[in-house]
Structure 1
Amino acid sequence: MPTPDPEPSAPLPGPRATRLAETFNHALLRTLQRVSNPSGFAACFATIDAPDVLRVVQEQMVKLLSDKCQKEFQRIMDSRDLVSKLNEFEALVAAAAARRAQAGDAPPPTPPHVLSAETIIAAHSHAALDPILSSTTLRLAQRRAQNARLVDCLAQQTAAMDALFARLDEAKADVVAAAQALDAANDGLSCVAIGHGVAGAAAAAAAHHGNAPGASAATDATASAAHSLDSPKDPPDAADTADTALS
């Protein structure tokens, strides 16, 4: 079985607690001396002629009163925990004396009755506002940490968006280049079609004139135009050749 914890010992009385007990004992002794006179006690029982018995009874009563007062005083001391409180008060007085000795020639503190209303209100509300200030400071620190995390997340999202925009710009440039290439190809195809039409018209004109003196020249111009359409030269050269043949 585990051994029970020993009961805490009673604190030793300090100078003030000892002085209080001595003062009580001295006052009790002075009070009991007033009822310890045998003649005065015997006068209360004038019809009893037994002084020895009365003296014994008186001593017993005085002793009973003394014991009862001592027990009552000790009960009050224990219930109010006066020894510990007086010891704490003694420690406070000693600490104040030590601070006074360390202060030396420091100016005396300002009396409370000359302080401003704001100073007095702040002094009285400090105890109530200190827990609120602590909780507010903690919440502010948590909110700052949360804001820092949000700023980091926003920076990452901004960097990701910038990367996406860069990729979109590259894709746009590729699309524009492809569109320009398609436009150039469409322009080349249009010129080739125009050249073929001119060559066909020249051939038709040559066939219509038959044995006309310029038939051979038209035939040569038609062949030259057809050759120009297949060659890498510009389409306007083929058109000029066709115009020459028609003239």
Structure 2
Amino acid sequence: MTSPTPPAEPTYADRAFRSPAGIAGGVLLLFLICWIGGDAAFRGEGRVPWQALAVVLTAAPLVVAFTLRPVVLANTQRIKIRNPFRTITMPWTAVADLRAGYSSELFTEDGAKYQLWAVPVSLRQRKKAARRQSRRSLDDPYDRTSVHADVRDTKSRMATADQTMADLRELMERAKAGAGKSASSDSSGSSASSVSVRWAYEVIAPAVVGAVLLVVLFATG
């Protein structure tokens, strides 16, 4: 009698972390670029239409790269960082730490550092959160409600970037705690090779072509 096949481990969807303000600003900038560039291309004379198209070809990919493209995708196995010009993918076992100072950064076990463009740090939000924490401590100086405090409520009083980094640290700690000793020993020896970095040529190529075309048009004009 054959033994039943063990059920496959469930796969969890990625959690996406990105900046809503960056997306809104990117959509607005793209609208303005297409509107002004399209108007110049249809109504301009001489070389103006070509110059307008070159500006659009140069500016639009850069706006997309710095506003719409950045995102951090994470699940219980790995983290994927999509920055303006690179995409970095690595398992949680290769991650050493996550910090949010003046910018959000990830440090790997082999000493490499990657910035998380999708998690911008706002010092203004951090100051507001500090003031809220200060007012809370004044309202409850003996911390009488700490016994029944909710962790999610504590996060809600943090700045957005700090909330995101706290969520990512929880995923990292959960993944490392769930990994066995053999898995951790194998990954520690190959943390460098397990990090995958891919350049975003789909963003770089059109921006470079537009910039070269713009230089040629102005140089020969």
Q: TM-score per shorter chain, which class?
A: under 0.3
Identify, as 1 or 2, the structure richer in strand: 2
Higher relative contact order (CA 8 A, sep 6+): 2
Q: TM-score, with normalisation over the residues of structure 2?
A: 0.27
Identify, as 1 or 2, the structure richer in helix: 1
